[in-house]
Structure 1
Amino acid sequence: MLKVGELAALARLTVRTLHHYDSIGLLRPSARSDAGYRLYDRDDVARLHQIQALRVLGMSLADIGLYLDSPEASPLAVVDRQLAAVERRLREATHMRGQLLRLREALASGASPDLSDWLSTLEVMTVYEHYFTKDELEQLPLYSDPAVRADWQALVEQGTGLMRSQVAPSSEAAKSFAGRWLEAFRRDTGGNEDFASRINLMAAREQQAMQEQFGMSPELMAYVLAAVAELRRDVYARYLPHEVLERMARHGREHGHEWTGLIGAVREQMGADPAATGPEARALARRWMAMFQDMVGTDPAAVEAFRLASASEPVLRMGSGIGDDMLDYLRRAMTPA
């Protein structure tokens, strides 16, 4: 049996999506644990495969529900339809490969075909659509605006140049670059913390795609994160004593990578359980508090200073996906029922 988070990770879906499928009766978990967590068995996973296969084929959720509950539906029929679609996509991919080979040949010979706009759009779609709906993508400048994508290509090239020149993340040049990166990210996600959280998840989970499609290698992402950490450390130093800064640095080395997934999970849960009364919300709040205490400690003065810094300095939260709405949600989840 799989918990909802485990199934979401394996299926490359969000927890919110599985909760939605449950709420509309499309995919109900076969059981729940003693603590109230959704549990999915083999038949549930098989049904989810059929749902996702039909979604890829363009069916609406309402039509998928009607189809799967109809007499003519069967796993075999769905797999046959999916195979036909895959065969079609293979033919399309073969055609695209031929086009790209011709373009490569032209480029290798010194010609300059104008392919950047349509090719970059084609590539970007494949990764973004795992994390955003079509309506959301229209609201996301980072995806929908070619000028924004060009700006980000320039930022990637700047970061790569700093990294290859071995400019230390703690240098003023690297910290200045980190500030521009954060400001561009805030601007190009439309100031939407939910969008920022999902893009952070995408960058963490889709490293190969990020490198192939955007030039953002894992090494570059590590460099950017290190520069951002140095930039934020300078700001925190105005509020926190040295021993707390050292504790935060240690936490960052050991557990910093865990925050992206935790923030994403809380965002998903905010949509699934707005009242913050369910066991999943409480479990996430407990995990958040444990991470926070490992990072800052439990001294009331340090905690208050950290919160003051976070509330007063926009750069400390910028691009993280953390907003006042999330912090309020976590406080409510931690309040005894």
Structure 2
Amino acid sequence: MDLAPGNRSSKMLLRVGELARRTGLTVRTLHHYDDIGLLRPSARTEAGYRLYNREDIARLHQIQALRGLGMTLADIGAALDRPDFALAPLIDSQIKAIDRLLAQQIQLRYRLSQLKARLTEGEEPELDDWLKTLELMSMYEQYFTQDELANLPFYRADDTLRAEWAELAREANLLYAAGASPASEAAQQFARRWMRTLERDTAANPDWLARLDAMHASEPLFQEQLGVAPSVVAFLLEAFAESKLAVFARYLSAGEFAFMRQHYAREMKGWPQLLIDLRCAIDAGAEPDGEDGQRLAGRWLAMLHGYAGSDPDTHRKIRQAMQQEPSLAEGTWLEARSLAFLEKAVASLMGCAQPHAS
């Protein structure tokens, strides 16, 4: 290390050449920063060589961090000269930017490893395969942030998970092509398995589920990747609803069940958005007995009345079914914290009614 000669206080000072070498910058860049007043060295040797201390190097880190965020040198100087400028938030911004870049690189590496595996097995990827890899990445990025993709199991699937989904798609297509009724036992059992797997691979996040649904409805490439058409997904959703109705049927009278069968599917279309709004309210610090909590409780009660009617005895039977039939909660994306919040909100609003999963 080039230490300035002479007094002891210079031991923590770096000459411009050493600072350039240690930071990867050029001496010319550091001279330019000095010339425009952005980074002036705290001292000079008797011969006039620039010397930088710890505070100078900390400022240089700030300059480079802000440059990495796209700021001009003029804007950087103005920001650093503000008395309220704080370093910690800047470092946080850097960490987030690096995390996003790492997520992008991880996904690109994964896609390229897939292509390499095909080459290793003697398969020559077509140009379309390379283009499709890039197209898939771009498509997901239209619906999810890089941070979200880094935590979305469905997107980060390994060979085992991809094989599992390929088998699910194959079975779904066979059921649909065979003309199976959504009310059949085979369709109901398979739909429950499909929804449980989807809940797992969306990390039980209803917002991510909604975005994958939007992708599937709008993106032919995603339909091709998943391996099932929208008509098959609609069939599975109907079969999943039938699996819930089959359980409720054991607890309701013929009249009650007839009413539920007529209205259940229509009302439950609002369930995913209610779950999304519940999570958002909880994350924002809403209270169950506050305005947002009461509004959400009202939406749930309207949904309940929409498919079960207004008879309290019918509501009691539905709660009994939920307590005694764990399968009713499967594949519903209802987290424990959302259920607890909703229970408190409904209790505050009504004093007696209790929510349940779809």
Same fold (TM over 0.5): yes
User: In the alignment, which residue of structure 2 is the partner of 1:157?
Assistant: 170
Q: Aligned equivalents of 2:136 and 2:151: distance in 1?
A: 15
Q: Pick from 229, 233, 258: which aligns with 1:221?
A: 233
Instruction: Tell me what 2:210 maps to.
Output: 201
TM-score (norm 2): 0.55
SS of 1:143 mapped into structure 2: coil
Given the superposition, is the C-alpha separation of residues 219 and 129 from structure 1 closer, same or farther in structure 2, using an over 3 Å criterion? Answer: same
Preserved CA contact (<8 Å) 2:192 2:240: yes
Aligned 8 A contact 2:251 2:321 in 1: yes
Structure 1 residue aligned with 2:251: 239
Paired with 1:279 and 1:254, the residues of 2 have a C-alpha distance of 27
1:176–1:273: structure 2 CA closer, same or farther, 3 Å change rule?
same
Match of 1:180 among 185, 193, 197: 193
TM-superposed CA distance for 1:274, in Å, is 3.8
Rg larger in 1 or in 2? 2
The partner residue of 2:179 within 147, 166, 180 is: 166
Is the alpha carbon distance of 1:324 and 1:178 closer, same or farther for their aligned partners in structure 2, counting shifts above 3 Å?
A: same
Partners of 1:150 and 1:123 lie apart in 2 by 21
Partner of 1:311: 323
1:224-243 deviation digits (Å, cap 9, x = unpaired): 01111122222222222232
Change (3 A) 1:295 1:213: same
Decide whether the 8 Å contact of 1:124 with 1:143 is kept in 2. no
- The whole-number CA distance in structure 1 between the counterparts of 2:192 and 2:138 is 29
In the other structure, the counterpart of 2:288 is 276
Matched, 1:113 2:124: yes
Once the two structures are TM-superposed, the CA of residue 200 in structure 1 deviates from its matched residue by 2.7
The Cα offsets for residues 14-42 of structure 1, whole Å up to 9 and x where unpaired, read as xxxxxxxxxxxxxxxxxxxxxxxxxxxxx
How many matched pairs?
Answer: 232
Distance 1:122 1:320 in 2: 33
Encode CA deviations 1:101-157: one digit per residue, 9 max, x unaligned: xx9xxxxxxx94358998887555445556655455444432222221331122122
Which whole-Å CA distance do the structure 2 matches of 1:202 and 1:119 have between them? Answer: 23
CA contact (8 A) 2:149 2:155 kept: yes
2:37 alignment counterpart: none
Contact map agreement 1:120 1:213 (CA 8 A) in 2: no
SS in 2 for 1:256: helix
Q: CA RMSD in A?
A: 3.6
Q: Distance in 2 between matches of 1:296 and 1:182?
A: 23
Q: Which residue of 2 aligns with 1:326?
A: 338
Query: What 5-or-longer segments of structure 1 have no aligned partner?
Result: 1-57, 61-65, 71-102, 104-110
Deviations 1:259-286 (A, max 9, x none): 2222222222221234235433322221
Return the match for 2:269 from 257, 264, 273. 257
Q: Which amino acid aligns with 1:141?
A: P
What amino acid does structure 2 have at the position aligned with 1:156? A
Q: Secondary structure at the match of 2:155?
A: helix
How far apart are 1:158 and its partner, in Å? 1.5
Whether 1:287 and 2:296 are equivalent positions in the alignment is no
Residue 159 of structure 1: how far off its partner (Å): 0.9
Secondary structure of the residue that 2:154 maps to in structure 1?
Answer: helix
Query: What SS is found at the alignment partner of 1:293?
Result: helix
Aligned partner of residue 223 in structure 1, secondary structure: helix
8 A Cα contact 2:223 2:230, kept in partner: yes
- Matched residue type, 1:148: L
1:211-257 alpha-carbon deviations (Å, 9 max, x no partner): 24423422111100111112222222222223222222222343332
Q: Say whether the 8 Å CA contact 1:273–1:281 is kept in structure 2.
A: no
Once the two structures are aligned, what percentage of the paired residues are identical? 33
Q: Which residue in 1 is equivalent to 2:314?
A: 302
- Greater mean alpha carbon deviation, residues 326-335 or residues 114-123: 114-123
Quick check: 1:211 aligned with 2:223? yes
Query: 1:238 is paired with a residue of what secondary structure?
Result: coil
SS in 2 for 1:211: helix
CA drift at 1:175? 1.7
SS at match of 2:179: coil
The alpha carbon displacement at 1:299 in A equals: 2.5
SS of equivalent to 1:141: coil
